Amino acid sequence: MRKILFLFILLIFTQSMAISAEKYTINYNSGIYHIVIPYNERSNRIKFALTENLITNRDFHRNSGAIFTINTGFFDPKNQKTISFIYTDGILAESPLFNENLINNPYLMMNWHKIANRPEFRVLKIDDKYVYDITPHDTQYEGELITSAQGGPMLLPEMDLEKEFFIVKEEGKIVRESASVLHRCARTIIGLKGQDVHIFIITDKNPMTIEETRDLCLLVGLDKAMAFDGGSSTSFDYKNKIHVVSTGIKGDNTGRKLKSFMIFR
């Protein structure tokens, strides 16, 4: 907790780099990028998208023409199919139920209700106004779903790793862990403070457990927050000025090939 508090103070008072524009700000300190997108009820510049074949964040960013691009949902590198629900332009673009490696695994399907209901970031349109939300996948919504991406775990308002099948306990002991939630690694986090969108790219220079990222979100005052795929998937590209990848796989600057992305246009 002291580590998180120290980082928070640094982020506020000793920013070593700050990029600001009318529609967003990007701050960096101590291995953490903090992106803030102020709310505009009449305009949405967030979109979730994916590719048929895996591609690096940098390549997707260049092809999309986005201002910045980050990684989002979980995927299976063996068959290059998603483990997260992704909606693009109001259409279900990819579903875990299309992934035969998942549906043919009896143990995973026995826990399907937990995996399927992991949290997602939604962009909705209600009465001609755009609304953002972070909620479990099965939550009903009003209006029109524009775009969304699932990840997890939920960090705020409540975190329950067992409920979302990120840990499994037997006789009170943890026997299974997913997404390295108990270990320090790079992280991609998205949250809401009111309707302002906050994104944290936690790099290899300052790896965190999922509890430490939850504490960081609390200190910033977020109302809701969730993780996207992290570790070696953590990626962030801003224009042609910033390129962040985890060195967990290759140890170079290429970055892992990924399935889904959030672009800010």
Q: Is the pLDDT of residue 4 over 90?
A: no
pLDDT for 49-85, tens place per residue?
999 999 999 999 999 999 999 999 999 999 999 999 9
Q: Is the pLDDT of residue 148 over 90?
A: yes
pLDDT for 85-137, tens place per residue?
999 999 999 999 999 999 999 999 999 999 999 999 999 999 999 999 999 99
Per-residue pLDDT at 21:
65
Dihedral sign for Cα atoms in the order 172, 74, 233, 237: negative
Q: State the pLDDT confidence band at 14, using cuts at 50, 70 and 90.
A: very low
pLDDT for 78-93, tens place per residue?
999 999 999 999 999 9
All structural domains of the chain with their residue ranges: 2-264
Per-residue pLDDT at 156:
98
Per-residue pLDDT at 15:
47
State the SS3 of the chain: CHHHHHHHHHHHHCCCEEEECCCCEEEEECCEEEEEECCCCCCCCEEEEEEEEEEEHHHHHHHHCCCEEEECCCEECCCCEECCCEEECCEEEECHHHCHHHHCCHHHHHCHHHHHCCEEEEEEEECCEEEEEEEECCCCCCCEEEEEEECCCEEECCCCCCCCCCEEEECCEEEEECCCCCCCECEEEEEEECCEEEEEEECCCCCECHHHHHHHHHHHCCCEEEECCCHHHCEEEECCCEEEECCCCCCCCCCCEEEEEEEEC
